[in-house]
Structure 1
């Protein structure tokens, strides 16, 4: 009892000298926002249960082999019954989210009708076709990071009227397909995209787009007609060697401002930003990058 009283007295005496640590600068998230991280934690919790269920089902012959994922060009009378069960045995389906990560699938699996979030990262998917997402108006987020995607059919995402976030990072893309108008975040970092493969109005109609990630590609210029909604654009480690007064601002309008755009990353490009002082007059911050040789 005596020792306890001494301990509390010491703590009380030290209280005036204890200072809370200053708030640290939050680390930038590469691909995923806070909501995705939370969902990832849920996924990990359920994944352990899923592994035990998988082991039990495998012994009973309930697991569908890899080849079962491949679509057959034939009509299926009961799409829900035929499509939902195999995917949710091999992947994890949780409250409208489908997790097919590191499962070695070679194409987008058949999805349950109510799917809102698809995570199919780090697989062997090579191509996205129109029929992969032909009837999923509920989809809000698709993450295909870390696959082998070389081709995406032009209208593959056309019917995804509610899609807000799309990640195609770490693939083998050389061009960008048509993107849904409601998109708020698009990530195509670490691909092989060239400027000539991006249409002049590829981003113009995306009036909700706030985050555009095109780092580590083969761009030689900044994409044209960037939307007013843009808040963050990553263009670092490309081949951009020059910019113009119209790249971010408007050469003929000295009063034009871009108050929302507060992060422009261009480091790792051959362009010397200091040569183009009139290119940033509408921005509230200067881009990251080289200003001197």
Structure 2
């Protein structure tokens, strides 16, 4: 019976399901082998080099790729003049020094994703490789770093092992060394020599995240521009730890145990080039003093910050992003001059705090302001009187009531494009919305009426979300949609509508009316919306005979009509209408109709 109903309409019925594809994700700390030669040459086609090891791929340029063949031993017949050797993704447990010593031209050696242990990798294993530039040993089972590495080294990757100790000459005395990757190991402070980078002052990238360090390592290379120390157990930053790092641009210290007592006013002061500072997920009770002047992005979320003082941020003149969500901030704890002079600050996250009102003294040039999940109960006339450049304002999931929104609260927000008031205590649509809004979200409130004039003049509004409220057709003013000439999405799902709202905007493309109490779909229900592409009427109370084919035939743009969860039929046997045989005949006829159409 249901299939017979479906065939009446020449549109795509029910839901169009989007396909998803799982893609590999690269961790920000990870360092991957730059070129995988197996992608350049089929493993079976190794005829370009006559003495190429079995199964491996070889190119005349000295590139040998033996990756991904479950090799348990180092291949003994690698050409002597090999420059780049890839053995990643195998099961090699041991390498003898003489196997590497004869490969005197080797510049790149990739051994990541094997089963190498420190016992199976002798201290002198790499001593003879006087041309080695790139060494990849990530994802093995090493517990100690090699004591000696060639001084020609440019990059070394020991990530995701079980390292507990680094030696002085592991990374020391290497003037060409530029990047070191040691994240996801078991390093403690005692396992690091004081002069770990002595004679290696040109190191630019040092990744030591996800270890067990309690202190910032001493004597860091002066050339560093990226330093990752997140996911450690840092409690203290020793005095002068960063004083020589004038080139540092990115500093990651999140997910540690840092407190304000573990740093002083000069901890970050000399980081004159620093642009990215992440101190999130620590134990800070207030914003540290002496932050660098050139920071652009400042992460302070997920701490226990209760106050923002008058002068703690004002010297950071280049700051554009300030993330303070998930703290313990209250409005009276934010000094009215806390953001004074920050002319470049355009994005501020203050959500998941304890704000009971809109903080005073908001940055004048802020464009994105996230205040959701606080305890704000009112919006006063002058709360946004100076934030002329605001474009995106999120006030969702607070305690705002309709009567506590001043009619002129948004009068200065002439550039505002997105306003979210979802999850509050609104009982009626408030007045005074900015006329330039593109998106208005009022989901999950108690809205039971749309009074006259509350949406007037909003000719640029493209998306209106009113789902999960208490709207009835009779409580929507007849001219509510008149000025919404750009509206494309109207979401009124989860309300108390018993009919489809009339006189909907001609521009409408998607209409969401699922989970209402709609019983009929009149033939002229969509006459005003000829451009509609999606109609969602799932889980209403529409009867089988309450919809006519002609209702949708004129909608030439219609792509999705979701009407599942309706059409509750009575038992035909109880009504004496049809026998089982007659119903089967009807179904057969319906299937034949489907094939013909």
Q: Provide the TM-score with structure 2 as the length reference.
A: 0.35
Q: Do the aligned partners of residues 203 and 281 (structure 1) sit closer, same or farther apart at CA in structure 2, a change above 3 Å counting?
A: same
Q: Secondary structure of 2:206's partner?
A: strand
What are the within-5 Å matches in structure 2 for residues 112-151 of structure 1? 112-127=103-118, 128-151=121-144
Q: Are 1:267 and 2:254 an aligned pair?
A: yes
Q: Are 1:176 and 2:180 an aligned pair?
A: no
| TM-superposed deviation, 1:116 | 0.5
The aligned counterpart of 2:90 is: 103
Q: Equivalents in 2 of 1:206, 1:55: separation in Å?
A: 39
Q: Equivalents in 1 of 2:43, 2:186: separation in Å?
A: 36
Q: CA RMSD in A?
A: 3.1
Q: Equivalents in 2 of 1:245, 1:144: separation in Å?
A: 34
Q: Are 1:280 and 2:279 an aligned pair?
A: no
The aligned counterpart of 1:223 is: 217
Q: Do the aligned partners of residues 200 and 272 (structure 1) sit closer, same or farther apart at CA in structure 2, a change above 3 Å counting?
A: same
Q: Do the aligned partners of residues 278 and 87 (structure 1) sit closer, same or farther apart at CA in structure 2, a change above 3 Å counting?
A: farther
The aligned counterpart of 2:29 is: 30
What per-residue deviation string (whole Å, max 9, x for no partner) do you get for residues 140-172 of structure 1?
010001000113353x31xx1211111100001
Q: Secondary structure of 2:109's partner?
A: strand
Q: Equivalents in 1 of 2:220, 2:42: separation in Å?
A: 40
Q: Equivalents in 1 of 2:139, 2:45: separation in Å?
A: 23
Q: Equivalents in 2 of 1:212, 1:231: separation in Å?
A: 9
Q: Equivalents in 1 of 2:260, 2:277: separation in Å?
A: 8
Maintained 8 Å contact 2:179/2:206: yes
- Give the number of aligned pairs: 228
The aligned counterpart of 1:16 is: none
2:39 corresponds, among 44, 59, 66, to 44
What are the within-5 Å matches in structure 2 for residues 84-103 of structure 1? 86=76, 88=78, 96-103=83-90
| TM-superposed deviation, 1:50 | 5.9
| TM-superposed deviation, 1:197 | 1.3
What are the within-5 Å matches in structure 2 for residues 183-202 of structure 1? 183-202=177-196
Maintained 8 Å contact 1:194/1:218: yes
What per-residue deviation string (whole Å, max 9, x for no partner) do you get for residues 99-144 of structure 1?
1012200123623221100001100000132331121101001000
Q: Equivalents in 1 of 2:82, 2:179: separation in Å?
A: 22
Q: Equivalents in 2 of 1:95, 1:153: separation in Å?
A: 23
The aligned counterpart of 1:18 is: none
The aligned counterpart of 2:197 is: 203
Maintained 8 Å contact 1:188/1:214: yes
Q: Which has the higher contact order (CA 8 A, sep 6+)?
A: 1
Structure 1, gaps ≥5 residues long: 1-26, 57-62, 70-84, 250-256
| TM-superposed deviation, 1:45 | 2.3
What per-residue deviation string (whole Å, max 9, x for no partner) do you get for residues 74-105 of structure 1?
xxxxxxxxxxx72539xxx9961101012200
Q: Provide the TM-score with structure 1 as the length reference.
A: 0.68
Maintained 8 Å contact 2:29/2:183: no
Q: Equivalents in 2 of 1:263, 1:66: separation in Å?
A: 39
| TM-superposed deviation, 1:204 | 3.6
Q: Equivalents in 1 of 2:269, 2:256: separation in Å?
A: 21
Q: Do the aligned partners of residues 87 and 276 (structure 1) sit closer, same or farther apart at CA in structure 2, a change above 3 Å counting?
A: farther
Q: Secondary structure of 1:277's partner?
A: coil
Maintained 8 Å contact 2:140/2:160: yes
Q: Do the aligned partners of residues 66 and 280 (structure 1) sit closer, same or farther apart at CA in structure 2, a change above 3 Å counting?
A: closer
Q: Do the aligned partners of residues 203 and 241 (structure 1) sit closer, same or farther apart at CA in structure 2, a change above 3 Å counting?
A: same
Q: Equivalents in 1 of 2:141, 2:81: separation in Å?
A: 26
The aligned counterpart of 2:481 is: none
Q: Secondary structure of 1:118's partner?
A: strand
Q: Do the aligned partners of residues 231 and 131 (structure 1) sit closer, same or farther apart at CA in structure 2, a change above 3 Å counting?
A: same
Q: Decide which structure has greater helix share.
A: 1
Structure 2, gaps ≥5 residues long: 1-25, 48-52, 57-65, 286-303, 305-597
Q: Equivalents in 2 of 1:222, 1:113: separation in Å?
A: 37
Q: Do the aligned partners of residues 278 and 166 (structure 1) sit closer, same or farther apart at CA in structure 2, a change above 3 Å counting?
A: same
